[in-house]
């Protein structure tokens, strides 16, 4: 199943483009599902069809749904958050605070994405399009899947063994309940599914993120940071869509200066994202709502291309054998040397880029090898690992 995620700054046109892509994909013959994981849903308004949290048939080959993010969270997280609440209350936190603390940033989006596994496994759809929340929260869920991987490989088994052996004594000393087996089972189950979703989303042949921008300075700045963070976490971007371009009819009169400024910003967008293709979408002469309007907008963006194509084979992350050692190569678009910090600690590589940190657990082949050199060149960092020993 081809997966396409739309993200970008607030209000740039993510929902409209997700819906337009879905309509275009379905009309091109793909069995398509479009789902919104932004708690502030507007997919139903955009398609002009009532939706719920289960798939609704919108037209031939097209289903849509608005995920009930709270429901997904409670379903997946209730056993664990129940335990965390008890633990935090025992530490003296008030119930309301404990309730808030038991939900980590990025979790709602992440758990909503677990739905993708169901669709992928059912074989019902060829294409899934996801309308994400604005960039900030999208990036938090990317990092969150790393946090859970880190915890699972580092502490999970140890903690489980410790709890089994020490429960009766430890509970008396720390005066708080320790997790029971069902908490551990629950963590394990979620971990497996999160890793499956992560694998699904990091495969450049199947999954792509599409960044929606408007030709405006502040929007461009945010999308650059988003692209950097997506690359750092290994998520492939197959195109950028510059939305709301003033058409040539606006080259005279009130909007002419706006049009000139947009042209300059569009050049900046092209230069920055190169070689990722930048598609454009004109500003329509009214709100774009309903299937036929969305189909027109889809045509404006994709012309006669298939909207489900992979427009760019992005390789944000690779590891290759190099002369007895290994080279790890991470794409970091637009990054300067002084913005990168990197160190290894036991079996992990910690990389900080422009204030964002990734704790990368080293694959087995790289464990125990020293970093020989790390160089930032051509928008990538190349890290050479030496021979074993």
Ligand X SMILES: Nc1ncnc2c1ncn2[C@@H]1O[C@H](COP(=O)(O)OP(=O)(O)OP(=O)(O)O)[C@@H](O)[C@H]1O
Residue 277 near which of Mg ion, ligand X, none (CB within 5-8 Å, type-dependent): none
Cα→Cα distances 337→60, 333, 344, 381, Å: 51, 12, 18, 9
**Residue 121 CB coordination number (10 Å):** 10
Residue 11 near which of ligand X, Mg ion, none (CB within 5-8 Å, type-dependent): ligand X
Shortest distance (Å) from residue 138 CB to ligand X: 11
User: What's the burial of 70, exposed, middle or buried (CB within 10 Å: 0-12/13-18/19+)?
Assistant: middle
Residue 13 interacting with ligand X (CB under 6 A): yes
Shortest distance (Å) from residue 73 CB to ligand X: 19
Taking contact as CB under 5 A, which single stretch among the options 37-45, 141-149, 203-211, 349-357 is the one that binds Mg ion? 37-45
Helix (H, G, I), strand (E, B) or coil at 73: helix
Task: Tell me the residue number closest to Mg ion, measured at CB.
Answer: 15
Residue 284 interacting with ligand X (CB under 6 A): yes
Question: Closer to Mg ion at the Cβ: 15 or 145?
Answer: 15
298: nearest Cα among 241, 227, 246, 367 = 241
Residue 42 interacting with ligand X (CB under 6 A): yes
- Structural tokens at position 119: 């669709």
Position among 14, 27, 259, 380 found at the interface with ligand X (CB under 6 A): 14
Residue 15 interacting with Mg ion (CB under 5 A): yes
Distance of CA 348 to the CA centre of its chain: 22
Residue 288 near which of ligand X, Mg ion, none (CB within 5-8 Å, type-dependent): ligand X
Residue 106 interacting with ligand X (CB under 6 A): no
Ranges assigned E (strand) in the chain: 2-8, 32-36, 56-59, 62-66, 127-131, 207-213, 237-245, 278-282, 317-322, 325-331, 340-345, 348-353, 356-361, 369-377, 380-388
According to CB under 6 A, which residues from 285 to 304 bind ligand X? 287-289
Q: Which residues bind ligand X (CB under 6 A)?
A: 10-16, 38, 42, 134, 243-244, 281, 283-284, 287-289
Q: Which residues bind Mg ion (CB under 5 A)?
A: 14-15, 42
């Amino acid at each position: 199943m081809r997966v396409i995620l739309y993200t970008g700054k607030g209000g740039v046109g993510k929902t409209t483009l997700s819906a337009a892509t879905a309509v275009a994909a379905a009309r091109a013959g793909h069995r398509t599902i479009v789902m919104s994981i932004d708690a502030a849903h507007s997919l139903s308004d955009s398609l002009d069809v009532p939706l719920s949290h289960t798939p609704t048939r919108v037209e031939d080959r097209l289903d849509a749904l608005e995920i009930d993010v709270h429901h997904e969270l409670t379903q997946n997280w209730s056993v664990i958050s129940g335990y965390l609440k008890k633990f935090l209350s025992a530490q003296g936190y008030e119930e309301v605070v404990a309730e808030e603390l038991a939900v980590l940033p990025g979790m709602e989006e992440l758990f909503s994405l677990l739905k993708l596994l169901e669709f992928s496994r059912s074989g019902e759809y060829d294409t899934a399009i996801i309308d994400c929340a604005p960039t900030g929260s999208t990036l938090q869920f990317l990092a969150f899947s790393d946090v859970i991987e880190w915890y699972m490989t580092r502490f999970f088994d140890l903690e489980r063994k410790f709890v089994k052996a020490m429960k009766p004594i430890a509970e008396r000393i720390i005066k708080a309940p320790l997790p029971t087996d069902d908490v551990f089972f629950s963590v394990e189950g979620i971990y497996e599914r999160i890793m499956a979703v992560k694998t699904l989303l990091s495969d450049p042949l199947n999954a792509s993120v599409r960044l929606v921008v408007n030709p405006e300075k502040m929007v461009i700045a945010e999308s650059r940071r988003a692209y950097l963070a997506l690359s750092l976490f290994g998520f492939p971007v197959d195109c950028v869509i510059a939305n709301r371009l003033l058409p040539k009819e606006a080259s005279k009169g009130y909007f002419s200066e706006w049009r000139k400024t947009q042209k300059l910003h569009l050049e900046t967008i092209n230069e920055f994202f190169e070689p990722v293709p930048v598609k454009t979408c004109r500003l329509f002469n009214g709100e774009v709502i309903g299937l036929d309007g969305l189909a027109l907008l889809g045509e404006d963006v994709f012309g006669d291309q298939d909207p489900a194509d992979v427009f760019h084979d992005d390789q944000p992350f690779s590891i290759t054998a190099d002369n007895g050692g290994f080279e790890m190569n991470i794409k970091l678009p637009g990054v300067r040397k002084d913005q990168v910090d990197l160190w290894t600690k036991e079996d992990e590589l910690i990389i900080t880029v422009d204030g964002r940190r990734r704790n990368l657990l080293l694959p087995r082949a790289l464990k125990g090898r020293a970093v020989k050199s790390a160089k930032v060149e051509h928008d990538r960092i190349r890290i050479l690992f030496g021979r074993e020993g």
